[in-house]
Amino acid sequence: MKFPRLVASTACAVSLAAAAVTAATSPAFASSTNYVALGDSYSSGTGTGSYDLDSGCQRSSKAYASLWASSHSPASFKFVACSGAKTGDVLNNQISALSSSTTLASISIGGNDAGFASTMQTCVLGSDQDCLNAVASAESYARNTLPGNLNNLFSTMRNRAPSARFVVLDYPHLYITNDTFCVGMSHTKHVALNQAADVLDGVIGTATSNAGFTFADVRGQFSGHELCSGDNWLHAVNFTDIGSSYHPTATGHASGYLPVFTSGAGAALAKSHAKDS
């Protein structure tokens, strides 16, 4: 999701067993993998502090997709994720990167469709009630409109790359539950924003399952590293670098998103390999 000019972002769930499979199998399959990384700012690397691959879309070599490609050396790697992207932007600007030769693709998407960037702006600047109203509106969109957007996108992705395995990543909670000593927004706002993430992630998970894709849930991996935890893997609001606010840090990509994606990719590639054997 993108934090704009003030706030510029039951599926095939990844399990511990899948993580064990990944460690043993992913490198073996990776050398013949044609990988495409799609999505929004949570995939492009906004917040990592380095947009050395594309400053306009804030693509970073520190993003989980780049890190995975660097460590696994796939046969090809196309990185087209872009900060601020909605489902329609993926369809219009990114999906051409997929082809019949694509064997693995990743994506995080949906937060910008649901308006969570403007919701964050309201919660940062407004009252508790303003925040609750904005969250309710975003949740309503996520429940009622976003499923159709995701279903259309995922169907088109499958048509573009019929041989690919797709891994869909979601969004972490922003705040720890025990935020008694947290400075900034109120506890009421923190709870509401975490609940909104759960609604969004639930919708994404259902759409992922319906499409037959692999759902990679990052919430557990980020547990204990949310804002106010003392070991944050996310940026708080930063008025000197507003675009990074509420996005994963470089550590958030390396220690949060990367292990979850690696597990999901390994399980998906192993399944594809078993099918072809």
Give the C-alpha separation, 80 to 68, whole Å.
15
Rg (CA), the chain: 18
CA distances from 69 to 35, 63, 218, 262 (A): 8, 10, 19, 10
DSSP string, 194-226: HHHHHHHHHHHHHHHHHHTPEEE--HHHHTT-S
Cα gap 48→231, rounded to integer Å: 16
Q: DSSP per residue over 94-138, as a string?
A: IGGG--TT--EEEE--STTTTTHHHHHHHHHHS-HHHHHHHHHHH
Query: Measured between alpha carbons, how far is 126 from 128 in angstroms, rounded to an integer?
Result: 7
Q: Would you please indicate which residues are annotated as catalytic (active-site) residues?
A: 41, 247
**What phi, psi does 250 have (nearest 5°)?**
-60, -40
